[in-house]
Amino acid sequence: MTHCSTSTSPSYPTGQDNNLNIFYNDHPFNWAVSFALYCLGDPGVIGDVFSLRSSYGHLKALKHKNDTLAHLIANLQQEQEWHNEEIKKFTDDTVGVQSHLVTT
């Protein structure tokens, strides 16, 4: 097992214990946080941080799907409006034919 000690400790802003952005961003240069998590030795915490980091990709995919669905819904609404206009035109023509037949 690797000896976990550092000569310097990273300094991060304090006072916001619920700010998890430092764990959320998994940058290649975020080695100090990854090393500290490894030295902590708690697989539960490491797993939770991994889940938090992987949630970014899932959130991005969900937002993309939402944008796709919003675009699809807008197009379907336009198609429905066009279809309703066609139905109105058809029924108006049918009423015209019916009234012509009634008068003859």
Reported as a single tens digit per residue, the pLDDT across 28-70 is 667 777 788 888 888 888 888 888 878 888 888 999 999 999 9
**Inter-axis angle of helices 43-103 and 31-40, nearest 10:** 120
pTM of the model: 0.48
**Alpha-carbon gap, residue 102 to 13, rounded angstroms:** 85
User: Hey, where are the domains in the chain?
Assistant: 21-103
The 8-class DSSP code of residue 33 comes to H
Look at the chain and count its residues: 104
- What are residue 67's phi and psi, to 5 degrees? -65, -40
Reported as a single tens digit per residue, the pLDDT across 81-100 is 999 999 999 999 999 888 88
* pLDDT given at position 2: 55
